[in-house]
Amino acid sequence: MMAGFGRRTGGYPRSRGRMGPRWRSPRPSGAEAGGGTDRATLAIIGVICAIAGFFTLGIVLGPAAVVCGWLAMGRTWSGARPIPALVALVLGAIDTLTAIMWLAGGGL
């Protein structure tokens, strides 16, 4: 008979996903979500790219530093700006302009 179909798990709250997983990971839930690279790391990567861009491959590392700095700032000009992100953005812009001038023949 099918009279009890669907009522069998009524007394067991863990069944059918009513309480979530039984075993939780020791990592915080934000790390499990895969939020990507945090802003402080992006800012440091941007500063390193900007400094290295002054010595080699400025046309590549300059824009990379600008992008990393912009993403580390949260893609906005308003609000609090972390200093390394702003440094990466400014040095990357200077590096990019210097590389463009060098490629154009102006040379600095």
- The identity of residue 56, as a single letter, is T
- The Cα-based distances of 74 to 41, 55, 95, 104 in angstroms read 13, 28, 21, 33
Question: What is the full per-residue pLDDT of the chain (108 aa) written as tens digits?
Answer: 556 565 655 555 555 555 555 565 555 555 445 556 788 999 999 999 999 999 998 899 999 999 999 999 988 877 777 899 999 999 999 999 999 999 898 655
pTM: 0.63
End-to-end CA distance of the chain: 89
* Helix-strand-coil split of the chain, %, nearest 5: 55, 0, 45
